[in-house]
Structure 1
Amino acid sequence: MKIDLQKAYDSIEWRFLQDMLSGLKFPHTSIELIMQCVYTPSYSLALNGDVFGFFKDKRGLRKRDPLSRGDLIPATLLLSIFETFSISSGLKMSSGKSSFYSNGVGDIILKGIEDASGKLFGGLGIVDTKQWNIAAVGKLVWWIARKKDNLWIQWVDKVYIKQTDCMDYKPTSASSWAWRKVCEIKEVFKDAYVQGKWSADDEKYTINDGYKWLTQHDMSRVPWFKSVWNKFIIPKHSFILWLLNQERLLTLDRLFKMGITQQTRCFLCGIHDENHRHLFQECVYARQCYTQLFAWLQMQVPVHLSTDSILRIRKHTGFTRLLLSSLVAAMQYHIWLCRNTCRVDGYVTHPAVILKRIKFDCRMRLMNISVGSLKRGEIDWCTQRGLM
C-alpha cells in the first residue's frame, strides 16, 4: 500500500510559482535557477537492469515522500483509518498518486517485512502488526491468570475454566471461536508464565513488554547497531549502511544470481567483479576516496576498510566515534551513489568531489544538533576540520 497525501505539491501551477517568486522580489537569476529545477526534470524506467527512455514531469512540484508502505494490513481498514485522519486533519488522500500493490509479492518478501524487527537486533524498527495483536490478546491471558476483578474474567472463570488451572485448561469444540483464539495465544505465552514472567504481584504485563518478548526473546543484538543508528548520521545514509551490513544492496553479483544482468565487472574500477566487499573495501576507487577522507582527518588509512575496523582506530569513544561513524556512513552512501551514477550516466565522480559532499552533509547534520549538547573540546574538534 502506498498512500500519498494531496497537498499544494499536487495542484500548484508552475506559472503561479514563478509569479510568486517575482512578487516576493527574488533575484531574476535565482528565479531562473529555481524554475529550471521545476521545468526540466525527466525520468527513465529501469527494467531488468537496463534503462529505457525519458519522460518529462507534467504537473506539480517534485516530491518523493510516500507516507507509508505496508502489505499486511487489510485495504478496507487502511481506507477507514485514512478517512478518519482526513476528517480530523483536513488532509485528503491523493487518489491519483496512491496505489495498492499485492500481486506477485512472494511469501519470502512478506516474511522479510514481518522480520524487520527492532533496530537493536538488525531490523528497521517496523512493528509486526500480527505479533502486536497477539501481544494485545496476551493481556487478556494475563488478566485471566491473575484473576483480575473484572466481570468478563469472572464469567470466563465460571463458564469455561471452572476449577481447572488456567494454564492447563483446554477449550472444547463447543467453545466460541473468540475463546478458542484466546486459548491459542495462552499457549504462546505459557512458557513465559511458567518461567515466572509477569507472575510477581508488582510486575504488570504491558502490550509493549509482551511484544518485545514475542519478537526479541530469541534474537541477539547486532554489534553494528550504534554505528548505523545514531543522531549524527543522516537517515538515508543509515538506511544504505543498514543494507550494506545485511549485504542486501543490489550489487552486480546479486543481480547476476537473479538473472537480471550478465555483467559482473565493477563499474568504478572496471577490473574486478562487483560485490559488497569489493565495492566498499577493495575497489581502487573506494580506497582513493578513503585516502582523501583520512588525509583530511589527519589519520592513517586502515588496511581493512570495514566500518568496525575504522571505528577501532585509536580506540575512538563517545563523540568522536559517533562523528566518525557519520563520516564513514556518508562515504559509503556516496560510493554507492557514485556507482549508480556511473551505471546510468557513464561517468565517475572525482574522489575530491566526494569528500566535499561528505563535509557538506556532515556540516548540515551538525547544524541540526543542539550545540549546547556538545562539549567545548568537541566543538573545537569540529571547528578545526571546518564542520562548524
Structure 2
Amino acid sequence: MVARCSFWTDSWSTVGPLSRYAPQLFTAISRTGRKRTLKDGLDQNLWARAIVGALTAQVLCHYLQVWELLRGVTLNPLQSDRFIWKWSSKYSASSTYRAFFAGSTTLLGARELWKTKAPPRVKFFFWLALHIQLWTAERRKRHGLQEVDDCALCAQAPETEGHLFLGCVFARELWFSLLLPIGLATIMPEHDEDIREWWMRQLRRLDPSAGPVLDSMFFACRLESLKGEEQQDI
C-alpha cells in the first residue's frame, strides 16, 4: 500500500479517489486536510479531524462510508511506493488503447464489414445499416418528419432496414436474379428480418471462398434497391 500519495485525490483505493467517492465529505474538509498524504491521514485518523464544514446528512453518510472503507487499510512501512497499472501486469501503449474499450460491446457483422472489398462510402453506408441508423420511412415517421412509413418500392409494409434489404418484393426479386445463376438461390431471403443476423447466418452456411461473392451481392442488391427507391420518389 502506498504511503506518500494524497489521501483524498490519488487513486490508491479500490473505489478510486476518495474526493470522488465521497464528494460531499470532501467539500467539508479543510484546505490543510485536503493536502494530507495517505500516511498522515491514517495516523490517528487525522483525516476525520480535518472536517470543518457543515455536518449535513449527506456528509455524515459519506463519512461512514469512508470510515468503513478505511477499516481494512494497513500500511507496510517496509514496502516502497509504486504505481500499479490495473489494466495489465505491465503498462504498455497497447493496454492503454484497449482500456478505452473496456465495457464496450461488439457489433454483429462489424468485423466482417470492414474486411469486405468495397468503396469506403459503401462500407460507411452499411455501417449505419448495422447500427440501424438509416433514415428509412419508418424512422422518419417515428421522429415526426412524415406521416406515413410505407415502403417507397412496394407500399405493402413499413419501410425498415430489414424490409428494404430482405423483405420487399422488389428486393427479393433482385436477390433471386443475382443468386440463381450461381446456384445460391437457396439462401434467398423470404421475409423481413434483422439484416445482421441474416448476413452472418448465410456466411456461416457458405464455403469461405463464397463469402466475398455474397458480400458483393449483398451490397449490390441494396444499392440497386436504393436506386429504385429514388426513382419512385421522383
- Name the counterpart of 1:308: 200
| Correspondence 1:1-388 to 2 at 5 A | 161=5, 167-168=12-13, 173=31, 193=84, 197-199=87-89, 203-206=90-93, 208-214=94-100, 216-304=101-189, 306-313=198-205, 315-317=206-208, 319-343=209-233, 345=234
User: Could you tell me the TM-score, scaled by structure 2's length?
Assistant: 0.57
Alpha-carbon distance in structure 2 between the residues aligned to 1:173 and 1:316: 69
In the alignment, is the contact (CA less than 8 A) between 1:256 and 1:262 conserved in 2? yes
- Name the counterpart of 1:61: none
Which runs of 5 or more residues in structure 2 are unaligned?
Answer: 20-29, 36-83, 191-197
> CA, structure 1 residues 260+230, in 2 after alignment: closer, same or farther (shift >3 Å)?
same
Alpha-carbon distance in structure 2 between the residues aligned to 1:259 and 1:285: 27
Deviation sequence 1:205-263 (CA, Å, 0-9, x none)? 32x5323213x221232331233111412222222222222211111111111111112
Which runs of 5 or more residues in structure 1 are unaligned?
Answer: 1-144, 146-156, 177-192, 346-388
SS in 1 for 2:185: coil
Letter in 1 for 2:177: Q
In the alignment, is the contact (CA less than 8 A) between 2:166 and 2:189 conserved in 1? yes
Alpha-carbon distance in structure 2 between the residues aligned to 1:284 and 1:212: 44
Number of equivalences: 164
Post-superposition offset of 1:321: 1.1
Alpha-carbon distance in structure 2 between the residues aligned to 1:256 and 1:243: 18
Alpha-carbon distance in structure 2 between the residues aligned to 1:278 and 1:163: 59
User: Could you tell me the TM-score, scaled by structure 1's length?
Assistant: 0.36
SS in 2 for 1:237: helix
Alpha-carbon distance in structure 2 between the residues aligned to 1:221 and 1:162: 38
Letter in 2 for 1:298: G
SS in 1 for 2:225: helix
**RMSD, matched Cα:** 3.4
> CA, structure 1 residues 258+326, in 2 after alignment: closer, same or farther (shift >3 Å)?
same
Letter in 1 for 2:199: T
Q: Greater strand percent: which structure?
A: 1
Post-superposition offset of 1:307: 1.6
Letter in 1 for 2:92: Y
In the alignment, is the contact (CA less than 8 A) between 2:175 and 2:188 conserved in 1? no
Post-superposition offset of 1:342: 2.4
